[in-house]
Structure 1
Amino acid sequence: MNVLIEMTALSMSRSASCGDAEKLAAWFEAKARLHEHLAAEGGADRARESALAVQAHEHSLRLLRTRAVA
């Protein structure tokens, strides 16, 4: 994974919060994968990157659950 390319793609592809829930959930999953990758690299920020990955994944799941209920 090229971190700079992934970060740029994420920053350019983020949907508006009022956009399609599935697209936004997919964006948060991509964000989670990026943070998982950074955590796997190790280093001083490993715990923070892991926490950000979990938060992004959970947010994605919440979006999908909200869509399913609506």
Structure 2
Amino acid sequence: MNVLIEMTALSISRPASDANPADRAAWYEAKARLHEYLAAESAADRARETFLAAQAHEHSLRLLSARAIA
């Protein structure tokens, strides 16, 4: 994974707050994957990156579950 390319892609493709929940959830999953990768690459930042990955993944799940309820 090229971190700079992934970070740029995430920053460019961030959906608006009124975007489709599935699109927003997919973006958060991509963010989670980036943080998981960074956690695996750096022992010094592993705890923080793991925390950020978990937060992004949980946010994605919340968006999808809210979509299922609506």
Name the TM tier (shorter chain): over 0.9
Q: Match of 2:48?
A: 48
Q: Identical aligned pairs, as a percentage?
A: 73
CA distance in 2, matches of 1:41, 1:11: 21
Amino acid at match of 2:30: A
Amino acid at match of 1:33: R
Say if 2:4 is the partner of 1:4: yes
Q: CA deviation at 1:49?
A: 0.1
Amino acid at match of 1:15: P
Q: Match of 2:34?
A: 34
Count of residue correspondences: 70
User: What is the TM-score of this pair, normalised by structure 1?
Assistant: 0.97
Q: CA deviation at 1:44?
A: 1.2
User: What is the TM-score of this pair, normalised by structure 2?
Assistant: 0.97
CA distance in 2, matches of 1:12, 1:42: 25
CA distance in 1, matches of 2:11, 2:42: 23
Q: Give RMSD over aligned pairs.
A: 0.6
User: Could you list the runs of 5+ residues in structure 1 that have no partner in the other structure?
Assistant: none
User: Could you list the runs of 5+ residues in structure 2 that have no partner in the other structure?
Assistant: none
Where does 1:18-29 land on structure 2 (aligned, <5 Å)? 18-29=18-29
